[in-house]
Structure 1
């Protein structure tokens, strides 16, 4: 009898959590380190995996580049990967293609439908939170939120007390702005970048984006964003939000030339990965006034050393890599993923089925 197999196409850390649970390794040391300083309750994942773990005789495999027909999986799970028509045809026992992410990227949907293979694309609440955080940083920069809070707590009026009990901007904060009517440049249009575009449009922003392969005209119209090259985007945008993939070729992609191309009144925001930004170049741009400010949730070195050079800058908002919310927020997503794997074996209904 053919072994029942759950095949993981990639070793993305989030997907790896589900694989560890299915391999009966929920106590693995790397899991504790991944969630630290939080101490998550993995019991719901372990319960959801009852009957489909390695101990239950299910073969749990990580693809190593071999032909998928060599595995003949019942379930394919991935965050980043490709499932072609040839792959679907080669896997005679395949019942479910499960992607962690709401877009069917890399999946030949027509091939899956023609073979009766279910496709599920799981929306990620943590990515919604990350997109929200990018807008939070933009608002905080434009409205001088950190400085405003500090001045309300520590200083009295610098000007007149106001009229009829209303003292508008009593500390005399200059350079205040907002998002409505401004141009946002989104660098990288993956899932988070796309969510940022949608939120920005709700704030009344004009959105331009750049990525390796532009969207079709129809998709651009539906999203409400237009393509431009990176140099042109940097020259046009009032806010630049970085969402490029954390790939070796993208390391330091925002450097001296890129910050020099931005407008002096523009703000830079990053919720992607610290390695994508040349922090020496960013610091010099901020200190010299080449750009107006920056909001950083991710950092070249994490944790960022207390009182380092960026902490002395007034035009920077810093958060400690919390854009996605609590790491424990991943657990409901992964529980649904594991429940879908169970459904492939026991015939139950699938969540977030798109084909």
Structure 2
């Protein structure tokens, strides 16, 4: 950024409000960390694949392919300003070397904070400029609480995920049963069973991804159908009466992820999957009520989800898995550790799975935005949790 002010480069940015929100949030957490550690600045170096670079950088990601080359960023704790040096600048030298020189020119010295994963060569440039490095997780802690703009972005990704799930539900709702397998019309329509094509996991996944793209997001290679099945290949036709697990984790253009899992059954005859389904869906209601009362740890929320499922008569021998994690610029991010707090401002993914039989699972995942104490958390763009495909098309 030679020849430009370090305050804001003046680069065109169609999402300036979100950039400012993120930087203000990061600056508040970093200022406290710098003071606590008697450090002069925060620095980080990486490509825009790195969520911390995207979070603190001056622009948002614009598409599925990040720009090439490293970016070096710093938060000057003395002047409370952001500095950015990029490989895209018309300047010689490594961005980290130029950033270190800029900090030194400002009279900064002593300790600078950096993520533990800062590249080795970048650390050497900073040390050669006379700085001592100390590690910090301040940016990750800042990201654990989402801004209003971030919540809107995650909701957009979740709407795209919902579009993908609903497309799959539409195909399953219209599927016919031919020789014990699900089948759908070919491209030109169908007049008889002989003209129907088997519906496979691979085909269903392709249709989901197309709907996600049409909704303005990128599937990001995260879409799966029956992800835990270990006995049948992707081209084996799906069958009626068996749970079909659909997982979609798209990324919207600014880099924020959604995350949605639904289990659908065509021509269900009830039985164990109905009982499992009632237990799993009730667990989501219980966890939501729990967080209405106030903040809880990741461990406590995950345990509540499992306990609610088991309260429907499932014992220790029944396989039940629960996972709670934040979502944002990564599909799973803070709060993610057991003791971390799910509190107001957190956007988290709840994922609950219970085994129906030896190789079949029933699984549901939704994203919840946690509000202030006493206010119910909000499910973001959540379609029906019903097992019936047609129920997802009625909203």
- Name the TM-score class by shorter chain: under 0.3
TM-score, normalised with respect to structure 2: 0.24
Q: Select the structure that is richer in strand.
A: 2
